[in-house]
Structure formats: structure tokens, C-alpha cells
Amino acid sequence: MAADRLWSIRGTLGGVRYLAIAGVGFASFLGGWWLLAGSGLVDAVFLPEPVAVARRLLGWYADGSLFADIKISIGRVLGGFVLAVLMAVPLGIYIGSFRPVQAFFEPLMEFARYLPAVAFVPLVLLWVGIGEGAKITLIWIGTFFQMVLMVSDNIRQVPMAQIEAAQTLGANRGEVVSLVVFKSALPGIVDTLRVTLGWAWTYLVVAELVAANSGIGYAILRAQRFLQTDKIFVGILLIGLLGLLMDQGFRLVHRRAFPWLHLR
Amino acid sequence: MNPVPATCIRIERLGKTFRGQSTPALQAIDLAVAEGEFVALVGASGCGKSTLLRLIAGLEAPSEGQVCLDGRPVQGPGCDRAVVFQDYSLYPWLNVLENVRFCRSLRAHTRDASESEVNSAVERAYALLELMGLDEVRTRYPNQLSGGMRQRVAIARALMAQPRVLLMDEPFGALDAQTREVMHELILRLFEIERSTIVFVTHDVEEAVYLADRVVVLAPQPGRIDSIHPVALPPPGARHPDLKLAPEFLRQKKTVLDRIRATSGVQRDLDKLSRLAELSRRDRRPDAKPATGIH
């Protein structure tokens, strides 16, 4: 077996073997957890056994609220995220393409990016109340500013030769932006969205921990009150799993929508 | 007798100084390029040959003077002056055929197009693919092609716009010597068939003398025209790679090369090196016996 190729820097690894090793990674995580919890060294209040967590998941499903909680949480994440995308992508394109727009917005966005989104919770409650709007606003605050800056960076990565080639073929300004700059930056933008979606999940939990009576984050908060460590575990693992699924979804879209990037 | 060809590009007192720099990148450039002429710009690095090409393309604005195309001053980039860049200018999300046809998606080319024009454009795209030897790869994407193939696509894409002038900015600079040789033959054949006016920037003197009707040598600091060398060789259609070894070719190549060496300070470096070699030879024989033979 070509072990030297396997361990060379940035070596090669087939798809099946990659999946197998990833599976071993997950299995050793679960196995380590199971051994540690089963050994009796740690109290179940601090570290519940995997079986107890699985049982709690089934119970959550049985009382009918599991899918309702998942649905409402996904809805909030997507609501805030889609709102941020609709605003950040066009603005990022303008910032990345035109210097005056960059001068106007970019320092402002750099500043806003450092405002701690979590500290906005009291203000958001004051401004938009405790309804769905509050959660969506908080997720928007947490993702929008980063997304604008990252999209404008994607736009600036477009090689100047691609832009100048279009200009010397007779493209006007609008055509250069829509037919060249946007198309060229699109794979990078999709990657930006994939990364920022992860942050949207972070702020969802913040929003649901503060002002909600439904959703996965709220379930975690309530479990804390009753010291149901196993349910906290279920909540955390669920969010991890949903995040992983959405991430894989984005990767699939990337492969389907940009076939030329995945050819050899 | 043939009528004297009309002037296509006229460059008058052209100067360019980049912001924040005291030495002009280009100064007092005067040059006329005739219809159907192939002009090569050569010179040491920093002599402003690429800047001159970009000024003709309208990608840079002149600080002084102007560039005129068919008597009208150049105001900015336009489809009458297509540029072939060294690399990274193809659109990776479009396949070869779509890249070549790119200009047909622009309003400048479709605004007043009649149906027959649209049909002839389709035919032209296929003819160009065939001419450039690309018909078998037309559904491939640029990152599936070799460097030489990618430059063929870039040239076909530029010709698709039917420009008055084809501007080439070191188009073969990133290619290996063998591929470059093939591209030279392709360019000569193309020049014969399309009768284009071409301005070609290169640092390869052999390439310049082999391809062009006239070779313009630029000198650096400030960038200016040092000398212009009309090439006295068989017409493009009758040139063959073996010509590059003919005494007459080598003589013309040397004339140009000497001017570049003289203007670039390379001669100073060469003199310095030969002095160093002399010194080290003396050091190796402290008894100062003259070196004879090889050990």
C-alpha cells in the first residue's frame, strides 16, 4: 500500500477511504464518551451515557415536540440568514466593484462587525419586542456585517484580466459587473454563505436562550432548569447535526452549480 | 502598384506618469501603425511597453498627448481594440465555445444585429475554432486545457469581436518553448488569413523579429522609443521556423538585441561580470602563470 503517498504533505486519499476514516473519527468520539460515562468515574449529572441521551431523544420525539422545535429553529435561522443574504450580497458587490461605495460603507461595516451581537439582546427586545422578529433581527446582526465584508472580498478577488478582457470586447459597466464580476465571484460567495450559515446557528441559540418559548435553544435552557443534562446533550448534538447537514447541502450545491471547479 | 496603406493607429506626443512616481513611465511617444501592419514592442523590463499597449487599448488614460484610431482619439476601452492578455483572462465558468462567443452576449455586438448577422456570427465562431485548432475541445472548460490551448481560446475570443486592431500583451510569455513555436506559426497563418492590424508586446526578441513587420525598441527611465527596425524577411506567409537559424535573421535579431542591451544597463552588468571572471582567474593562480589548457 502506498503509505508514503498517504502521509505525504497534501497527499491523496480516495473517497471511500476518506469516508471510512471520517467514520472512525465519529466512532472514536462516541466510543470515548461511552467508555468515560460508563466507567462510573464521572457522575451522570455531568456526563450522561450515550444510551440515556438516545432515550431522551426518543422521548422528545414521542411527546410530539421534537419536529416542531426543529422546524421553528430552522425557520428562524433561515429567516435571519436569508434576510442577511438578500441585503449583504448586492451591497458587497457594489462595495467590491466601486471605490466610493467602498469608502462609504467598508469602514462603517468594519466598525459594526466588532459590535458584540449578544450585547444587542436588550436593545433588540426593546426595539422589536419578544416575537419572532427579535430572533431574526439578532441572527441578522450576527451575520450581516461579516457577510458584507466577505462578499466584497470575494468580488475583489476577481482577476483584473477577466474584467479588462470584457471591457476591450465592448462590455459596458453593468455588463462587466453582471456577466463577469458576479459570475466569477459566485463560487466564492457561495462558500462565504456556507461559512456564515454556521454563525447564524450560533446566534439562534443566543436568541432562543434569551427570549423564546419554543425551539432547540429554548429546550436546552429549560433542560438546564431541571438539570436534565442528557437533554442538553440532545439539543447540542441536534444543532451540530443540522449544521453539518446544511453545510453538506451547500457543498452539494457548489458541486452541481460550478462543475468546472470540480473537473480534472 | 499597391496604394499606400492608411494609418490605423496614430500616437502623438504620448506621455504617461503614474501617480506617486517622479519618472514618467512613457515620454513623448510618436508612432504610426498602418492598416494591416504587425508591430512588435520590445525593450528591457520597465521600459513601458505594456503601458503603451494599455494606453492604446484605453485601459490607461494618457497624461499627455493622445492615441488616435482612424483619426478619432481613444477615450477608453472598446470593442475595436481587443486585447489578448498573458494569462487568467478566460472565463472559467464558460466552456471554449462560450468563451469565444462571449462578445455576442454584449449589447455593443447585438444592438443592431440582423438575423443574417447573427447567423454569420455563429458561423464565424465555428470558423475561428477550426482555424485555431480548437474544434475538438469546444465543450471543455478552460481549466481542462493546456496553457497553449488557453491562449488560442483567448485569441479566438478577441478575433470574434472583429476588432480594428488586435493588441497582444506578452501572450506567449507563460508558455514553454515548443508550444511557443507552434503559436508563432499559428499567428502568422492567422495574420495572413485575417489581415488584422496587430500590436504585440514581448520580451523575446526572436519572437518579435520572426513575427513582426517592424520592431520598436523602447528604452527605460523614462520610457521612450529608442529605435524602430523594419524587418526585411520574406512575407509572413512564407516564413518557416528554420528561418530563425538563417544568417540574415540572426543579423537582424542581433541589431535589435544590441539596442536593448545598450539601453537597459545590461551591458554594464555584462562588463562587470567579465571583470569579475578575470579577477577570479587571477586569484586561482597566485604565481601568475598564464592559464593554458583545461585540467
CATH number for A79: 1.10.3720.10
Q: Which of B132, B216, B203 is nearest to B170 (CA)?
A: B203
Residues of B engaging A, defined by a Cβ cutoff of 8 Å: 57-59, 76-79, 81-83, 85-93, 95, 102-103, 105-109, 141-144, 154, 157-158, 161, 167
A165 contact residues in B (CB cutoff 8 A): 83, 85, 89-90, 154, 157
Higher-scoring residue by pLDDT: A180, B177: A180
**What's the pTM?**
0.83
Whether B185 and B292 share a structural domain: yes
DSSP conformation class of B33: E
The reply to whether B177 and B286 lie within a common domain is yes
Q: Is the ipTM of this complex over 0.85?
A: no
Which pLDDT does position A132 carry in this prediction? Answer: 87
Q: Predicted confidence band at A264 (pLDDT cuts at 50, 70, 90)?
A: low
What average pLDDT score do residues A208-218 get? 84
Record: contact B59-A261, CB cut-off 8 A:
no
**Contact present, A204 and A135 (Cβ < 8 Å):** yes
- Residue B109: domain span: 87-162
Q: What is the mean pLDDT of residues A196-222?
A: 87
A96 shares its domain with A126: yes
Q: What is the DSSP string of A149-215?
A: HHHHHHHHTS-HHHHHHHHHTT--HHHIIIIIIHHHHHHHHHHHHHHHHHHHHHHHHHHHHHS-SSS
- The answer on A31 and A57 residing in a single domain is no
Q: Looking at residue B276, what is its pLDDT?
A: 87
Decide if A171 and B106 are in contact by the 8 Å CB cutoff.
Answer: yes
Give the structural domain span for A25: 3-42
Spatial distance between the Cα atoms of B102 and B85, rounded to a whole number of angstroms: 16
Sign for the pseudo-dihedral over CA of B178, B186, B84, B215? positive
For residue A169, give the nearest of B59, B79, B144 by CB distance.
Answer: B79
- Stated as kind and residue range, the H or E segment containing B34 is strand B26-34
Contact A168 B143 (CB under 8 A): no
Tell me, yes or no, whether B71 and B204 share the same domain.
yes
Dihedral, A216, A218, A219, A222 alpha carbons, nearest 10: 170
Rounded to whole angstroms, the Cα distance separating B51 from B37 reads 20
Among A181, A173, A175, A180, CA closest to A152: A181
| Residue A119 domain-assigned (yes or no) | yes
CA-based nearest distance A155→chain B, Å: 15
User: By CA distance, what is B93's nearest residue in A?
Assistant: A260
One domain, residues B155 and B170: no
Q: Are A209 and A132 in the same domain?
A: yes
Chain B hits for A179, CB-CB cut-off 8 Å, are 105-106
Residues A114 and A10 in one domain: no
| Lookup result for grid cell 465584508 | A149
